[in-house]
Structures are given as C-alpha cells and as structure tokens.
Structure 1
C-alpha cells in the first residue's frame, strides 16, 4: 500500500494534474470577487438611491401638505358663520391682539379661521348646555344629587364649551412651537452653510425649507412664507418681523433682529448666524440635560410603588419560607414528644 502511494506521488502525470487543479482553484478564487463587484460600492449606491427616494417622497408630502393648508386657508367662507359673527359683532367682544397672535402661532392665518373660531365660541356653550340637560334631566343621570348641583354641572359644561376653542388653539400653538424649536438649530446650521457659500437670503431660505421639511413641516412652511414675503413686501424688515410673530419664539426673534440689522447697516450675516447657531445648540443641549436631571425625581414614586415591594419580596421571601418551615418542624417535634 505504501509503495503504491509513493509510486502515485512520484508519477509525473499525477503531479501535473495536481498542479493544474491547484492553479484552477487559485484562479477561480481570485477572479470571483472581481466578478461579483465591490460590495462597498454597491451598498453605498443602494443607500444613495434610498436617500434620494426618501427625499423625493418627503418633498411630495411637503408639497401636498402645503397645498392642502393653502386651500384650507383660501377656501370660501361660510355665509352663515360670517353673517352671525358680523351681526353679533363678536370680533369686538371676543378678539384682541393676543388672540390674533395665538391664532397666527397656531398656524391659522386669514379671516376664515378667525370667523370659525368666533362661531364655535358662540355655538359650543349652547351645545354643552343642551348635552348636559339631556344627559342629566332627560336620561336621569345623577339621581341622588340635588337640583342645584345638576344645574351647576350644566353650567360647567356650557363654560367648558365656551373655552374649548381656546384650549384647542393653545394646544395647537404649543405643538407647533415645539416642532419649530426642535428643528431650529439644524435649520440655522443649514442657513449658515448656504449664506457662507455665497447664496442670497431668499435662495438660502428656499433651500433650507426643502431640506428641513423632513424634521418640521411647520418650520419649512414658515421659511417658504418668509421667502414669498421678501419678494413682494415693500420693506424686507416687515417679512422678518412677521416670521418672528408667526413663530412666537425668542430664538427666531433674535435671528430676525440680526437679519434686520444686516439689511439696514450692511453688516455680515454669517458671523451673527454662527454665534446664534451655537447658542441654539447650547440651548437644546441644556434642555436635554434639564430633562435628564429631572428624571430621577420623577422615577422615585414609581420605584417606591412598584420596584421596592418586589425587591423586598425577593429578598425576604426565602427567609420567610425558612422561618415558616422551622416553625412547622418545631410544631411537629412538639406534637411527637407529647
């Protein structure tokens, strides 16, 4: 057997076939990766295509949202609502400068939202009162309560209906301000890059509006409106002041003041934007640190109510079981001795 193996290894034809097989294997092993292509390039290409697709979808969504809001703000007023509001002169009785500013901050601009706001403030108290009367006196709710208490509940429902539009507008304004505030530092960074690259303020606002829409549609809408106002208003200062008034944020107001000074005195905008962008990032970091610092006190009560009883049960459970077993063993020994 050994002689046959040695004879095969020394055979020239066998050695040639072995070398050819090794060469073919090395060639295939070398050529296959090049045929499959660079995986990194393929992956980067796939990521780039996916990013472009997501950006295109986001732009389509932003355009549809802006078109929907534009149509909602420009639609024809209801004749009945307008007549009721004008006949009762509700604007003089219920509208002041703070109410108008709150509506602007909430994203409601124009006369149509104001008319609806006043109409619902007039109608909802009667709706709440009728629902309270129907629920309490017709359906017989709260039978054990006295008559004055039932009347008081109906009055409270009417009062809640009167302030329901105000609460809705305040909630909408708060959410909109939070959305703008969250995306504002990134928008400032993008605006700074565009201005330093030589773009005008109008082009920079338009570019930032296209890019920031993925984070905040409200901020992108404000930039588009500001860009439009810069085009047709006689004073550019008014466009910047309108931006600050529609957002209601101090950080936006400081940026508008810097832009107004740059327009008036010809000072460079890039330096002011750089400083204000750094301040906005610091403010966002401070807000995050404040939330993180407030987390331990908020977790104290849940830990006391839910975690500590379980922890005490896990720690003291085995000891209690051992004590109970020893007590049973002692009782058995005492009964056996008796």
Structure 2
C-alpha cells in the first residue's frame, strides 16, 4: 500500500497513468461508431415491422367490417341459383349500399332477393285485401290496378329504404365532419402523420357521430393497406357521397401530390365545411314558416277561435236563456 502511495507521488508514474487513460479513451472513441452498428438500418427495420403490424390489424379490420367475407345462407343461395344479380342488375346499387353503411356481399344479396320477392308479396297482399276484406267500392279494373300498384311499390321499396338510410347516415356524418377536420388539423400541426391523425380523430369523434368514426377508421385501414393513399381518399369520398367530403379528399390528394402543407388545406376545408353546415341550418330555419302553415291552420287556429269566441258564445247563450225565461214569466 505504501508502494502504491509512493508511485502516486512520482510524477513519471502519474504521467504514465494519464497517458494510458488518454490512449484508452482514444481507442474507445475510434471504435465506438463501429460497435454501435447502423442506426438507420435498425430504425428502418422497426418501421417495417410496425407497418406490417398495422397492415395485419388493417386486414383484420377489413374482414371484420364484412368487406372480404363471402355471403352465405339461404337468401344468398337463392339469389345465386336464380341469378338475381344479373336479372335485376343495378350498376349504382353497390355504391348506394356503401353510402348506407351496408358493406360486403351479404347486403347486396339481400337487396336483390327483396327486390325479387317483395313485388309478389305486396301484390298478393294488396289483392287479398281488396278482393276479400274491403274493396272500398272499387270497380274490377281499379282492383287489378291496385294489385299492380302494390307490386310496383314492392319493387321500389328496397331502393327507397336504402336511399333513406343513406340520407340519414350522410346527415349524421356532415354534422360532425367540420369538428373532425378541426381535430385533424390540430393533430397534423402537432406533428402526427395523416394516418395517425385519421386514427386519432376516428377514435375521438365517435361520441358525436358513430358513422363518421366508422368511416375514418376504415380509411385508416385503407391508408395502411392500399398501395396508394389517393385510392383511400377516393373511397372515403365515394362512401360518404357528399360534396364537402369530396372537396376535402381532393385537397388531401393535391397536397400530397404537390407537397403543399396539409395544415393549410385542412384549415381552409374546415372553414368551408363549417360555412356549409351553417348555410344548411339557415336554409332549414328559412323553410320553417312554410312548413308550419298547414299545422297552424289545422291545429292552432281552431283552438285560437275557440278561446276567443267561446266566452262570447257562452254569454250570448246565457242572455238568450235569461230572455226566454223572463218572457215566459210575464
């Protein structure tokens, strides 16, 4: 121990120690980059692994939504055997069903089956009611015409149902769409990618519109699964069927194509959709007086006349009764 203390007091030994430490530090500094390896390659592997994980989740989500499942069951079997899809072909019905939120082959098979079966059911039901239960005093020609009308109503009933469902779904989406764009703008300006922004907004907007949350989550899956983002944006516009959503998707496509900032495009589109929502509300408010005219005539005015003229009628009746009694007493 005394020898080690004596060596520390020797200037030559201290200089040798510092020289050895400096040599070791130099060797470590030179060799450290080689020992670390390629960080870029490691990060690229992590990104690839994450993308594959997201693709698997997206495929599972698409299969769960019913887009990749084959239609099975009695109705699907009858539709395939009778080849109703070719017999009653409608080129726009697939898009209409998607806009109504009915995805996959099963709703399409059910639609064609209902379009084939309902004319017979409605026509037969109308004929049985007219001929056997209550004919309303109609002639024989009017009875047959009523049966034909029932069959025609059965043929167009599925289209009316799908159109009504799509309209209600579109209204629900457009009520929450400007707020979704504001949230997406915040996500993009905070540094998120457009895929993460769609996923985040889709998870948060469900309290305002379940339909819009479903569409955004499906778009997130398509952004990770499809080879081009443009196709996912176009699919979103086609599924919603609204000009406001179509304008937003076109702005996103152009921003990606020409490299313009997404934040600016989303800010402008959010303002336009808010103005569009306000104009729709003003249009409905302006149409209220015309819509309230008939209810006011049928329900309000009779009650108002009764309230105003009722006391006067009661007084006149009492005066007539009093006068008659007075005359009879004389």
Could you tell me the TM-score, scaled by structure 2's length? 0.72
Flag the 1:190–1:155 CA change in 2: closer, same or farther, 3 A. Answer: same
User: Residue 235 in 1 paired to residue 250 in 2?
Assistant: no
8 Å contact kept, 1:73–1:112: no
Q: Which of residues 78, 91, 97 in structure 1 aligns to 2:91? A: 97
CA contact (8 A) 1:105 1:173 kept: yes
Deviation at 1:178, TM superposition (A): 0.9
Distance 1:189 1:109 in 2: 28
Q: Which runs of 5+ in 1 are unaligned?
A: 1-65
- Secondary structure of 1:142's match? coil
Range with greater deviation from structure 2 (76-85 or 185-194): 76-85
Equivalent positions of 1:145-164 (< 5 A) are 145-164=138-157
Give per-residue Cα distances to partners, 1:215-250, cap 9 Å, x unaligned: 111111111111111112111101100000000010
Match of 1:245 among 217, 238, 256: 238
CA contact under 8 A between 2:100 and 2:163: conserved in structure 1?
yes
Q: Tell me the equivalent position of 1:192.
A: 185
Q: Where does 1:272-287 land on structure 2 (aligned, <5 Å)?
A: 272-287=265-280
- Contact 1:73/1:113 (<8 A) preserved: no
Residue number among 291, 298, 305 corresponding to 1:305 in the alignment: 298
Secondary structure, counterpart of 2:120 in structure 1: helix
Report the Cα offset of residue 146 of structure 1: 3.3
What runs of 5+ residues in structure 2 fail to find an aligned partner?
A: 1-59
The question of 1:123 aligning with 2:117 is answered: yes
TM-score, normalising length: structure 1: 0.70
In the superposition, relative to structure 1, how do residues 154 and 321 fare at CA in structure 2: closer, same or farther (>3 Å)?
closer
Q: Render the CA deviation track for 1:181-204: whole Å, top value 9, x for unaligned.
A: 111111111111111111110111
Q: Return the match for 2:203 from 202, 210, 228.
A: 210
Q: For the residues of structure 2 that align with 1:270 and 1:209, how far apart are their CA atoms?
A: 18
Contact 1:185 1:280 in 2 (8 A): yes
In structure 2, the partner of 1:57 is none
Write the distance in 2 (CA, Å) between the matches of 1:104 and 1:91. 17
1:166 matched to 2:149: no
Provide the secondary structure at the position in 1 that maps to 2:101: coil
* In structure 1, C-alpha distance between the alignment counterparts of 2:249 and 2:101, rounded to whole Å: 19
Deviation at 1:210, TM superposition (A): 0.7
1:102·1:170 contact (CA, 8 Å) conserved in 2? yes
Q: Which moved more, 1:212-221 or 1:288-297?
A: 288-297
Within a 5 Å distance, the mapping from 1:1-338 to structure 2 comes to 70=64, 76-78=70-72, 80-137=74-131, 139-142=132-135, 144-323=137-316
Alpha-carbon distance in 2 for matches of 1:314, 1:172: 43
Distance 2:310 2:126 in 1: 53
Q: What is the deviation of 1:272?
A: 1.4
In the alignment, the residues of structure 2 paired with residue 217 and residue 266 of structure 1 have an alpha-carbon distance, to the nearest angstrom, of: 32
Q: Which moved more, 1:181-190 or 1:162-171?
A: 162-171
Q: Aligned in 2, Cα 1:126/1:327: closer, same or farther, shift over 3 Å?
A: closer
C-alpha contact (below 8 Å) 2:118/2:151 kept by paired residues: yes
CA contact (8 A) 1:194 1:204 kept: yes
Contact 1:85–1:118 (Cα < 8 Å) also in 2: yes
